[in-house]
Amino acid sequence: MNSDIAEVLFSREEINQKVQELAQKIDHEYGDKEIVTIGILRGAIFFMADILRAFKVKLVMDVMSVSSYGEKDITSSGQVKILNDIMINIKDRDVLIIEDIIDTGLTLYHVKRHLLDRGANSVKICTLLDKPSNRKFKVGSDYNGFIIPNEFVVGYGLGYDNRYRNLDYIGILKPEIYQN
Ligand code: IMP
Ligand code: MG
């Protein structure tokens, strides 16, 4: 285990299992419809890669890059910047946002509104992790993998200062890493 990690929350096997469960549930709900999946970079990169390959539902894939953190922050700046917007037309399409984690809800609140403004027929949210105790915006995840406590976690795409994203498990980062 990486020495900057205080505790492993979910192993690669547990994550894989959860990804399969989420994919089955979403396949079932959309049936024969074709959806547009929009992965939110960079945090959702591995989750997106895995769940997209687990889906049987027909889909068109796009990504968006948004940022609400400075590089070395562990809390949101309160502003969401769209760094790279989607490329495809989503008018009248059924959109599924793929995101690593919902925390205050700021990011997903804005992304969802942005996609509805673009004329999507429906916008649903799929997250791997949810920290409900920290929610400040009125938005929820329609399909969530794990509920976690209010701790800063890294791995499987989630990063701090863009480090730890490549860990193949999800763990709690030792506070001393960001407290100096
Ligand atoms: P929100 O806008 O406060 O809901 O935060 C969502 C975004 O903050 C996510 O897309 C992540 O990129 C990031 N984030 C929130 N909590 C964590 C965490 O514990 N570890 C790493 N990134 C996080
Ligand atoms: Mg993110």
Gap from CA of 131 to ligand 2 centroid (Å): 13
Predicted pLDDT of residue 73: 75
Q: Domain span at residue 68?
A: 11-149
Report if residue 43 sits inside a domain. Answer: yes
Report if residue 169 sits inside a domain. Answer: no
Q: Mutation test of ligand 1: which of 5, 128, 158, 162 has the most ligand atoms closer than 8 Å to its C-beta?
A: 158
Report if residue 141 sits inside a domain. Answer: yes
Gap from CA of 75 to ligand 1 centroid (Å): 8
Predicted pLDDT of residue 71: 62
Predicted TM-score (pTM) of the model is 0.95
Report if residue 71 sits inside a domain. Answer: yes
Report if residue 144 sits inside a domain. Answer: yes
Tally of domains in the chain:
1
Q: Which ligand approaches the C-alpha of residue 159 most closely?
A: 1
Active site residue 103: yes
Q: Identify the DSSP state of 65.
A: E
Query: How many Cβ atoms are within 10 Å of 63's Cβ, its own excluded?
Result: 18
C-beta separation of 115 from 97 below 8 A:
yes
Report if residue 159 sits inside a domain. Answer: no
Report if residue 142 sits inside a domain. Answer: yes
Report if residue 156 sits inside a domain. Answer: no
Q: Enumerate residue ranges in the chain where pLDDT < 70.
A: 69-72
CATH number of the domain to which 27 belongs = 3.40.50.2020
